[in-house]
Every structure is written in C-alpha cells, then in structure tokens.
C-alpha cells in the first residue's frame, strides 16, 4: 500500500470516528493540524508518512473525553494501523507521537521524553498552532461552553506552574486558560517554521485579551 492509499484510508477512519465530536476537537481540527504539519515539514528532514499519520491520529480519542484515560487513543490508533498493515516501525513512531504530543505532558517534572524526534516536534507544533490565534480563541470558548464554565471571573486568578494532574482537573474560567496554556505556547514551539507561524497568532491573542478587558469594564 502506497503513501496516498494509507492516508486516504486513515482520513476516512478518522472522519467516521470523530463524527459528532466536540467542535474544537472534531475532524476539522484534525484537518487543520494535518495541513499545518505538512507546511512545517517542508524543508525538514522528517518522515512524511509518520508526520501525516501522527497529525491525523493524534486526537483520535482525546483523554479529556474519555474520563482522563490516556491509553484509549494509542490503542485505537494502533489497532487501525495494524489492520491496514502499516509497518511496525512506523506504527511505533506514530504511537509515540500520540503519547507525547499534549501540552499537559510538557508539565511533567521527569524531563523530556526518552525518545524525541523531528516528526513529533512537527506534529506538536502544528497541534499547538491550532490552540493559538483566532481559531485557538474560538476553540477555547467552545470547550468552555461545552463544559459549562464561566467565561471570566475576576475573583479567580489564573494558576501558573500547574502540575499535569492539576491541569487535568482544572475547571477554571476560559480566560484563565489563556494564561495557563495558550500564551505559553509560543515559547514551546520546536521548529523554526512553527515559531514564525506562532508569532502572529500569539499577538492576536494579546490584542483580543486587551479588547476583552475593555469591554468587560464597559470602556469600549
């Protein structure tokens, strides 16, 4: 099976699997990450198939929608890739990406992953880009509404330097999420292209917050 056949089958699988998913973690999120990953990968010495499959399958079963169980996604992805006879080395690499891509795992205090790769860096950058800028803002408020959280509460301060478990259990207002994650992403980008793409999106979020606070106070 060639590259395009594998990607086509994976695309159909992911689209079907994510039917009815929360709007910030649906097929269109995957599609954007896939597109950004391919753009970032240009000029990088990376395995195109690993990058593509990592992007397509990275959120096949986000733990936050599975009672925090981080094993569901890797299991589903591996079963699918094995079913279409993708070679073991590729499957293992894609599973590694799924296991290590998330922001919350960057909060662990046990150092970097034992095995890092350019492919993981590329897909991670693409996923983080989709949490920034106009799309990132829309996704944040969509998820906040999905969880019935406050948009903003001046009495609840953002909690910085959270552990992974604290981050997973957080039910803070959506505005806090900007300080607890979204505004931190620019400095966590791995690739040169990712860093350049993140700059505009980061500034857009800062401008949004300035306008938000003005309107909150009735000043604009």
The Cα 10–Cα 57 span in angstroms is 8
Residue whose structure tokens are 């607890």: 180
**Structural domain range at position 85:** 3-216
* Rg of the chain taking only CA atoms, in angstroms: 18
Domain containing residue 52: CATH number: 1.10.3210.50
Name the domain count of the chain. Answer: 1
Residues in the chain: 220
For residue 133, count CB atoms less than 10 angstroms from its CB and return exposed for 0-12, middle for 13-18, buried for 19 or more. Answer: buried
DSSP string, 180-200: HTGGGGGGG--SHHHHHHHHH
Q: What is the pLDDT of residues 69-126, one digit of tens each?
A: 788 899 999 999 999 999 999 999 999 999 999 875 665 444 444 458 999 999 999 9
Q: What is the pLDDT of residues 129-166, one digit of tens each?
A: 999 999 999 999 999 999 999 999 999 999 988 777 77
Q: What is the dihedral of CA 71, 72, 78, 79, to 10 degrees?
A: 140
């Amino acid at each position: 099976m060639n590259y395009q056949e594998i990607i086509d089958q994976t695309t159909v699988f992911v689209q079907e699997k994510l039917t009815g998913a929360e709007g910030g973690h649906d097929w269109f999120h995957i599609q954007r990450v896939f597109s950004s990953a391919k753009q970032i990968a240009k000029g990088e010495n990376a395995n195109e198939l690993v990058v593509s499959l990592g992007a397509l399958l990275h959120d096949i079963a986000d733990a936050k929608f599975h009672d925090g169980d981080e094993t569901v996604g890797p299991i589903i992805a591996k079963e699918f890739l094995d079913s279409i006879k993708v070679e073991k080395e590729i499957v293992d690499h894609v599973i590694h990406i799924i296991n290590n891509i998330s922001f919350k795992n960057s909060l662990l205090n046990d150092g970097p992953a034992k095995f890092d790769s350019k492919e993981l860096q590329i897909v991670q950058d693409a996923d983080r880009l989709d949490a920034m800028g106009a799309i990132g803002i829309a996704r944040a408020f969509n998820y906040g509404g999905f969880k019935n959280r406050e948009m903003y509460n001046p009495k609840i301060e953002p909690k910085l330097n959270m552990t992974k478990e604290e981050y997973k259990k957080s039910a803070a207002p959506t505005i806090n999420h900007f300080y607890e994650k979204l505004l931190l992403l620019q400095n966590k980008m791995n690739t040169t292209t990712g860093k350049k793409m993140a700059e505009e999106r980061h500034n857009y979020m800062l401008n949004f917050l300035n306008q938000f606070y003005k309107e909150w106070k009735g000043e604009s």
